[in-house]
Amino acid sequence: MNSYPISIRPFGRHAVLIEWPNEVAKTILSDIIRYKALLRNHLDPAVWELVPAYNSLTLIKQDTPIDFSTFSEQLKTWYETEEEVASKDHFLWRLPVCYDLDFGIDLAEVSERMQLSTNEIIALHTKPEYTVYGIGFLPGFMYLGGLDTSLEVPRRATPRLKVARGAVGVAARQTGIYPQESPGGWNIIGNCPIPLFDTEKKPPCFVNVGDRIQFYAISRAAYQLCMIEGEVGIYKIEKIKLDA
């Protein structure tokens, strides 16, 4: 515990950025999540938003400016305390993906470029349990770590103006799902029919930073069924509680 040297810096007058060592590591993410849970005991949720991502945690204050010197000392004290915090439950979510060529519009190109068959790509993409290192870019967009190195395809040279909602992409060392239609430069290999962000739900996004995601391949027929179940709200996402 507390084995990391953290840096605390002002980010304008209304935010503070806390940074851990500059690397992608599950142990760092766990420490960020533990510290975030501890801060939640001290910082009023009506005033403070806490945004974790990879090796950082940004604290954003709504109302009056932050007195940085006092607050940063307080943050250090909290980081060093032995205070036990009940950590929030984290889950492994199993999400269906249809890798049909109609959805996986870049599968053929990725296949040729990486010298892998479509089936090999699917096997490599569905094998890992990806770690959610951050949520951002779009509502419900997860930054997933843990992509197999043989699927590390560079971003597309020219981003597309429109990528379909649910599109599953790979780019460099990352994979992820576009929760809404948007512009995007990742290579699209499939589509996930499950809505990842729904303003009608509480909370609107079921995934939290620190959760894990695993994909499983489904047929086109199963995709249609999931889509309909998702729309009427009866689709039940498979989840497994992770050990703390």
The contact set with another protein (CB under 8 A) reads 9-15, 17, 19, 22, 24, 45, 49-56, 58, 60, 62, 133-141, 143, 179-180, 197, 199, 203-205, 209
The distance of closest approach from Cβ of residue 53 to another protein in the complex, given in angstroms and rounded to an integer, is 5
Q: How far apart are CA 70 and CA 36, in angstroms?
A: 19
* 99 or 133: CB nearest another protein: 133
* 183 or 233: CB nearest another protein: 183
The distance of closest approach from Cβ of residue 125 to another protein in the complex, given in angstroms and rounded to an integer, is 21
The distance of closest approach from Cβ of residue 52 to another protein in the complex, given in angstroms and rounded to an integer, is 7
Closest to 26 in 3D by CA, of 144, 126, 142: 144
Closest to 10 in 3D by CA, of 65, 49, 52: 65
The distance of closest approach from Cβ of residue 116 to another protein in the complex, given in angstroms and rounded to an integer, is 27
The distance of closest approach from Cβ of residue 206 to another protein in the complex, given in angstroms and rounded to an integer, is 10
Asked if 132 and 209 touch (Cβ cutoff 8 Å), the reply is yes
Query: Which residues are CB-contacts of 126 (< 8 A; sequence separation ≥ 6)?
Result: 97, 214, 215, 216, 217
* 104 or 210: CB nearest another protein: 210
* 135 or 163: CB nearest another protein: 135
* 97 or 209: CB nearest another protein: 209
User: What tokens does 5 get?
Assistant: 């040297």
Q: Give exposure, 191-230, as e/b (b: 16+ Cβ within 10 Å).
A: bbbbbbbbeeeeeebbbbbbbbbbbebbeeeebeebbeeb
